[in-house]
Structure 1
Amino acid sequence: MFNGLFDDFIVRAAFAGVGVALAAAPLGCFVVWRRMAYFGDATAHAAVLGIALSLTFSAPMFAGPLLVSLLMATLVTTLSGRCFAMDTLLGVMAHSSLAIGLVAVSFLSGVRIDLMAYLFGDILSVGVNDLMIIWGGAALVIALLVLRWSGLLLSTMNPDLAHASGFSPKREQFILTIALAVVVAVAIKVVGALLIAAMLLIPAATARPLCRTPEMMAVTATVIACFSSLIGLETSYQFDTPTGPTIVCTSAALFLLSGAVWRIINAVGKTLSDEAQSP
């Protein structure tokens, strides 16, 4: 039954897109709340170096990006505030790791590699094994977020209150780092290293003005991300455009739409309030 279902490459691509959306969107809410946009970008760029490592040692393609993303995130967390400002450190490490990864790939002899597929994704080539990795990673990220939701949320909103409640902000930061590295590793195949940050940020930013609670924002961002993946995949198929960038463009269009809706709702609410207060 399942073999027949996954014989169609479009079905596999749809499941892959939804799997990445389920992991990236709720995690992206914490990235937005903590203002870690550049952090996610740096971790994603480092994944290119991980691709070179996987190819060099003939390891599974997700293993290298996962390892390098974890090392990058841990190193940045450890060094931030000691030598350089966070944005400076992230900028240096993001671009350096991306450049080193690209140079390292060029030295691989006897290996044919479609570099564009790793930079911008190749969701249409996703296989059943890739789906297992993507959904396994998504399940791990969702489990981490569900189990540590209170600690992560308190540490994000008020570290002092988190301490008083028995949570360690540093430990919660490390858990968030692990989840981010997992998302980067499993999303490489779908949207590529250069667009992973967009999948983390845009759905969460789209949901933010429309929601009043953190939980509602996480759920709304997940729905938006899944919708963007499916509509972007269909649009790419119909117009023969690059799938990963098309998914991100769809998500960006929804972001603009949500901003317009939010402004209209605010304008209508202000008008009704003024009318109610007028004699």
Structure 2
Amino acid sequence: MILFDSLVMRAAAAGLGVALVAGPLGCFVVWRRMAYFSDATAHASILGVALALVLDVPVFGGVLVVAFAAALALWAFGARSLGQDTGLGVMAHSTLAFGLVAVSFLPSVRIDISAYLFGDILAVRERDLALIWGGGAIVLALLAWRWSRLLIATLGADMAHAAGVNPRREELLLTVALAILVAAAIKVVGALLVGALLVIPAATARGLTRTPEAMAATAALIGGASALGGIWMSWEFDTPTGPSIVCWTALAFVLSQLRGVIR
């Protein structure tokens, strides 16, 4: 019973820590149509895992550095302009492949790569919780600080310039926030599923709310509820936790769409 309490409580705290941040940040991902951008950044984080293992440094640090470098590269070179999502597709798939190959060249290091691809929230420790909640607090502080400017920049570059807001600078801020979230979330839902936790709750909340603030709060609540539901499902039925969390977000999205059809 004590083991159950400690595992589930840590997992719940980790899931809520990521979901409460992914909700508001995911709203900007949806509004700005950056879903593939977030996937490319998350996939690149596997390279960070390999780098951390080679240099014998904390995985969080390696993932944060590589995720930030990938997001910064995409921002600097404007990959989204290369035939819609072509540049992002190249970045997402190639970095993931190089990361997996790099990990395979580390025979002396025993590592469960699936834990970084799909998450292993039940293995979260107190130190991981500190990193998750610390990184989440930084991201939420950034969003709260620049909320109005980010909204203006999201509406359009011309409107942003007219209001004295530099849209490229605000986009850079989002890339920094995205890199921090990816580094924090890789232990919870994994590199392949972090994009889903960003996009699906925000997309669900979009049809249920009328204001940006309400959408951000609703997305956080949906993500938090899905995290708890996925942890419960994993514990009860021995399903993989990260995918289980995403399944709950997908169910919430389907229900929201059915509600719209019925109305």
Output aligned runs, 1:33-182, within 5 Å.
33-80=31-78, 84-182=82-180
- Residue 217 in 1 paired to residue 243 in 2? no
Give the C-alpha shift of residue 109 in structure 1: 3.3
Distance 1:47 1:77 in 2: 16
Cα contact 1:46–1:101 (8 A) shared by 2: yes
Name the residue aligned to 1:273: none
In the alignment, what sits opposite 1:277?
none
Q: After alignment, is 216-225 or 151-160 more displaced?
A: 151-160
Seen in structure 2, the aligned counterparts of structure 1 residues 131 and 83 have a Cα distance that, compared at 3 Å, is: closer
Give me the identity figure in percent. 60
Deviations 1:149-202 (A, max 9, x none): 011110001222221222110100000000000010000000000000000000
Alpha-carbon offset, residue 81 of structure 1 = 6.1
- The code of the aligned residue for 2:181 comes to V
Among 187, 190, 195, the alignment partner of 1:189 is 187
For 1:201 and 1:100, how far apart are their aligned partners in 2? 25
CA distance in 2, matches of 1:140, 1:153: 19
Aligned length, in residue pairs: 262
8 A contact 1:6–1:128 mirrored in 2: no
CA distance in 1, matches of 2:159, 2:88: 28
Q: 1:242 to 1:133 in 2, by over 3 A?
A: same
Counterpart of 1:270 in structure 2 is none
Aligned partners of 1:63 and 1:164: how far apart in 2? Answer: 39
| Structure 1: stretches of 5+ with no match in the other structure | 266-279
Aligned residues of 2:79 and 2:87 also touching (Cα < 8 A): no
SS in structure 2 of the partner of residue 191 of structure 1: coil
**Alpha-carbon contact 2:80-2:86 (below 8 Å) kept:** no
How far, CA to CA, are the matches of 1:219 and 1:83 in structure 2? 31
Q: Distance in 1 between matches of 2:122 and 2:3?
A: 15
2:255 corresponds to: 257
Query: SS at the partner of 1:199?
Result: helix
SS in 2 for 1:223: helix
Distance 2:126 2:46 in 1: 23
CA contact (8 A) 2:79 2:86 kept: no
Q: Within 1, Cα distance between the matches of 2:259 and 2:169?
A: 38
Contact 1:80 1:86 in 2 (8 A): no
CA contact (8 A) 2:41 2:71 kept: yes
Structure 2 Cα separation of the partners of residues 229 and 82 of structure 1 = 31
CA contact (8 A) 2:51 2:62 kept: yes
- Name the amino acid aligned to 2:38: G
CA distance in 2: counterparts of 1:156 and 1:199, whole angstroms: 21
Write the letter of the residue equivalent to 2:40: A
The one-letter code sitting in structure 2 at the alignment partner of 1:133 is: L
Structure 1 Cα separation of the partners of residues 109 and 178 of structure 2: 29
**Mapped partners of 1:187, 1:82: distance in 2:** 24
**Distance of 1:146 and 1:189 partners within structure 2:** 25
Q: Contact 1:118/1:192 (CA < 8 Å) preserved in 2?
A: yes
